[in-house]
Chain A
Amino acid sequence: MSDNGFEPQITAFMCIYCGYMAADTAGALRIPYPANVKLVKLPCTGKTDPRYILQAFEEGADGVYVVACPVGNCHHVRGNERGYARVQRTKKLLDAIGLGGERLEMFFMSGGQGQAFADAAKEMTERIRSLGPSPIKERVNELTG
């Protein structure tokens, strides 16, 4: 599966409604998706917090994405829109940090869209693979040998 031998580590934050259900649907339908994605549940993507995202990078994630209900269909009405705004702000912060905002993304899908979930995981894995490992992890590796 790997082109350059680099298997990115990715953290995905997802709401317990559409996001997590989509993951579940993908599993039930046996749609394959990359196994390198760590899933973290949020009560709603309105709970998206730059602190969580930055922490994921601090702990070695090469990429992070957030999976939310479709716009207009959030279980908390507009939580996903708030989450999106925070993702946009955090992208800018990642640019300022030097990690690059493109290592962070947000996807919207309904609970039944197992294929969309698998596609998002693939898209992020491919994007991060082409970007290469997070410089943070490289530093950590350098330090720990």
Chain B
Amino acid sequence: MIIGEQKPLEEIKELIGDARKVLVAGCGTCVAVCSAGGEREAQILASALRLAFQVDGNSREVTEATVQRQCEWEYIDPLAEQVAESDVVVSLACGIGVQTLVERFPEAWIVPGLNTTFLGMPQEQGIWVERCQACGQCILGVTAGICPIARCSKQLLNGPCGGSHDGKCEVNPDIECAWHLIYERLRKLGKLELMLRFQPAKDWSVSRDGGPRRIVREDLRVLPET
């Protein structure tokens, strides 16, 4: 899922600027699961903003609303009225949700309330870890199901580098060396020959480097009647 982290209150206040009516828009999917931008967090942020503006002697009207998903038109339509009545919308969704709001409500001023950090999973309660970079050409089939693009600090395809120590990455002892993990897993499964294979230069054109990406599925499209 998409993992996010709320921006500091001070930064959110700056983004709100002089707006009098503020709507905090939560999202009930990924960012709710990672406790960054769901209903609870939207309520906490709205409350915190009301208090903070009062402390500053400059009260504002801060309301909040949460939809199940901010990244699809039909889910955000119910927000239309509240958005229209607000001077600013603080979206607690990921960057996709923010932009979906922007595209649906072009007249509204929408600002992000969180930083979209990565695609990952909860490793344990309260700890989230990165697992995918959406590079556009999955290589997990040759790397024992452990992604070096997302998990090696240098994105090596032929690792590990000389900075692998005791299974940890030289960059930070909190980072596991992805190539050490790959090596250990291949060894245990008797597939080390996969690691001997030279992995050629990656085709980054299917990644973000090729420009914004788009998928078209003709079998799913509903084309206008001719």
- Show the binding face of A for B, using Cβ within 8 Å: 49-51, 54-55, 57-58, 93, 96-99, 135-136, 139-140, 143
Contact = CB atoms under 8 A, between A and B. Distances in A.
A54 B40 contact: no
B52 A58 contact: no
B52 A97 contact: yes
Q: Which 3 A-B pairs have the closest CB atoms?
A: A98-B55, A54-B47, A96-B9
Contacts, number: 45
> Which of B9, B51, B55, B56 gathers the greatest number of chain A CB atoms within 10 Å?
B51
8 contacts: A49-B40, A51-B40, A51-B44, A54-B44, A54-B48, A58-B47, A98-B51, A140-B54
**Dominant secondary structure at the B interface:** helix
B55 A97 contact: yes
Given A51-B47, A54-B48, A140-B54, 20 more contacts: A50-B44, A51-B44, A54-B44, A54-B47, A57-B51, A93-B9, A93-B48, A96-B10, A97-B48, A97-B52, A97-B55, A98-B52, A98-B56, A99-B51, A99-B55, A135-B55, A136-B51, A139-B55, A139-B57, A139-B59
A54 B45 CA distance: 10
A98 B58 CA distance: 13
A57 B55 CA distance: 11
Contacts of B54: 135-136, 139-140
Interface in B50-108: 50-52, 54-57, 59
Interface size class of B (residues with CB under 8 A): 10 to 19
B8 interface: yes
A107 B40 CA distance: 25
Most chain A CB inside 10 Å of its own CB: which residue of B43, B52, B54, B59: B54
Contacts of A136: 51, 54-55
Contacts of B56: 98
Contacts of A49: 40
Contacts of B52: 96-98
B20 to A, nearest CB: 16
B47 A96 contact: no
A97 to B, nearest CB: 4
Given A139-B57, A139-B59, A97 B40 contact: no
Nearest to A135: B55
Contact of B9 (A55, A58, A97, A139): A97
Interface in B100-124: none
Contacts of B44: 50-51, 54, 93
A89 B119 CA distance: 25
Interface string B185-224: 0000000000000000000000000000000000000000
